[in-house]
Structure 1
Amino acid sequence: MSKKVKISVVPFGGLGNRMRVLNSAFYLSKDINAETTLVWLKKAELNADFFRIFEHASFDFKLLRGFRYKVFLKFVKHIYINQYPKLYRFILGIFFDKILFDSDVQSLSSETLIEQISSSKSVLIATCYEFYPFSGFDNFKLNKELEAKITSFQIPEGSIGVHIRRTDHVDIIKESSLDNYHVEMRKCIAENQNVKFYLATDDAVVKAEFLNIYKSRIITQDAPLNRDSEAGIFGGIVDIYNLARCYKIICNVKSSFAVTAKLIGKEKELINV
């Protein structure tokens, strides 16, 4: 009997990016009967351990620890991989006979990906992109502390999520003016005078402005807006899952934050501004 393919996956970026990479790896591994090892790098963009966020992800996997983890943490950086892919392929090729980065997974069909990985023994996938289809994110089970934080918010039926990203994505800032959000929110108010909005934003000034304008219509949380602390990470997760409780979300769809929320729980519409 041939041995199982061993897939090591390094999900880069924030929580939404990492969840889509993980589910790509999980569903792929299930379909080809591979073993999955998760290399969860605790970095400034997501400064929390996997099991501080989730109880489980409904798939079997090993979590890389010890010396090998420390090596990955120190030397495997997304920005450098994109700048020096040949160097990283050469070094990592000592340990893996198949290596896939962003450009690889974006160019391969699912069928070609399966064909290439199935003929390998040890595979490394290091990316921030989805690379294999999956049904959603309901397989992720949050830890009880986070679930309690989320359910403490009273979000009425028919509430609308608003995600405003303002500090770290140049394209979104250029494309989606605050006026665009106001236009869509006023449309919602015209349709339903009792509508509530769950506001998630990374900008304290924006939060204060929208609270001043929409007052009691706004539901939001008081949490650190940066993501380089565990408290900030938990605040972001609460925002994602509370947006997911809304029946539609006003956002820029280039942000994985709102797209992640869309794939949690019931079907919902994204209104792209």
Structure 2
Amino acid sequence: MKRKMIFVPAGGLANRIRATLSAIALAEQTGIELKVTWFRDWALHAAFRDLFVPGRLPEGVRIVEASVMDLLVYDRPRQKNFRVPALFQKVMFRACLYEHQIDALRTQGFDFEEWVKQEGNVYMASYLPFYAYPDALLHEVFRPVPQVEEVIERRVSVFSAYTVGVHIRRTDNTLSIKHSPLELFFDCLDKEQAAHPDLCIYLATDSEEVKQAMRARYGERIVCAESKADRGSTAGIREGIADLWTLARTRKIYGSFHSSFSELAAELGGIPLIVVKTENK
């Protein structure tokens, strides 16, 4: 009987994308059957089909929207669901790995290949990448829906010959706020402006205050989304995808400390990422 893995990506947009790619690469390498179950929750309240068009998936790999039954059986066991899914998962799977375990396991050099190769089906949830995946897989699996592609092309159309990307994370990311203050981004961009008279800056941020401060300093050089960041709606998450793919079309990215979004944008575009943090000064 073919071995199977149920995989549940967790967290926000960039975390889910990278974790899903890890699971797909692991499945392709080991020959297991993989079902990625996509849940809508507070961290990413949108269905997969409303964000991405079907891409090329390896044989035996599926990405499905979570059903009501999946909430009971395959959801991540947490206090909010009284850990009821864990009761089913202990019976249905040989072994389970949950999101709070993944960071320690990958740091310890855990052999994920050997884990899935053993007899029996397994369950895994993660918001972190845990297995190396080829760059091409990102472009093959995750392709924005046409409505988002139109937004991306419209923003890129106003780029100058020299456009840099800037991702400034605020709201709930306390490490980014602490280690990547706005003044350090100003220092980097002031140097870019002095060296490149035609500088254009694509700004991706979840803070309206940051938008105002950047526009006050750099004026019409700033290109960014007009709407407020909102990960609680499909429209807001589509804006996040547009930001991610547009950042990837710049020359380089000045990104925030401890931000998977900055990292994924650079990975997507195959461009340099300069993490702006206090240690650099």
TM-score (norm 1): 0.89
C-alpha separation between the residues in 1 aligned to 2:263 and 2:78?
21
Aligned to 2:254: 250
Matches of 1:160 and 1:78 in 2, distance apart? 41
How far, CA to CA, are the matches of 1:80 and 1:112 in structure 2? 31
Task: Report if aligned partners of 2:73, 2:88 keep a CA contact under 8 Å in 1.
Answer: no
CA distance in 1, matches of 2:52, 2:257: 25
Question: For residues 235-257 of structure 1, what are the alpha-carbon distances to aligned partners after superposition, in whole Å with 9 as ceiling and x for unaligned?
Answer: 11111111111111111241111
> Which residue of the other structure, out of 6, 9, 22, is the alignment partner of 2:7?
9
Equivalent residue letter for 2:76: V
Question: Alpha carbons of 1:187 and 1:146: their partners in 2 closer, same or farther (altered >3 Å)?
Answer: same
Which residue in 1 is equivalent to 2:76?
A: 76
Distance 1:179 1:142 in 2: 33
Q: How far apart, in 1, do the equivalents of 2:76 and 2:164 lie?
A: 39
1:103 offset after TM fit, Å?
Answer: 4.6
Asked if 1:54 corresponds to 2:56, the answer is: no
3-state secondary structure, aligned to 1:152: helix
Local SS of the residue matching 1:69: helix
Q: What is the identity, as a one-letter code, of the residue corresponding to 1:133? A: A
The CA distance in 2 between the partners of 1:183 and 1:142, in whole Å, is 33
1:62 Cα deviation after fit? 4.4
How far 1:157 sits from its partner (Å)? 3.5
Question: Which string of whole-angstrom CA distances, capped at 9 and with x for unpartnered residues, describes residues 9-50 of structure 1?
Answer: 111111100001100010000011111111111112211110
Tell me the distance in 1 between the aligned counterparts of 2:275 and 2:176.
14
Distance 1:78 1:131, change over 3 A: farther
Unaligned 5+ residue runs, structure 2?
A: none
1:100 aligns with 2:101: no
Does 262-271 or 234-243 show the bigger shift? 262-271
Identity of aligned residues (%): 27
Aligned equivalent of 2:113? 114
Q: How does 1:226-237 map to 2 (within 5 A)?
A: 226-237=230-241
Amino acid at match of 1:232: G
Aligned length: 267
Give the Cα–Cα distance (whole angstroms) in 1 for the partners of residues 76 and 99 of structure 2: 14
- Counterpart CA distance in 1 for 2:80 and 2:179 is 28
Counterpart position of 1:182: 186
RMSD value over aligned CA atoms?
2.3
Query: Structure 1, unaligned stretches of length 5 or more?
Result: none
Residue 8 of structure 2 contacts residue 124 of structure 2 at CA under 8 Å; is this kept in 1?
yes
Q: Is the 8 A contact 1:224 1:235 kept in 2?
A: no
Aligned CA distance change for structure 1 residues 185 and 27 (closer, same or farther; 3 Å): same
TM-score (structure 2 length as normaliser):
0.87
Distance 2:252 2:79 in 1: 34
Offset at residue 96 of structure 1 (A): 1.4
Name the CA distance, whole Å, in 1 between partners of 2:177 and 2:139: 30
Contact 2:162 2:198 (8 Å CA) reproduced:
no
1:62–1:14: structure 2 CA closer, same or farther, 3 Å change rule? Answer: closer
Q: Could you tell me how far apart the structure 2 residues matched to 1:99 and 1:91 are?
A: 11
Return the alpha-carbon distance in structure 1 between the equivalents of residues 257 and 77 of structure 2. 26
Q: Which amino acid aligns with 1:196?
A: C
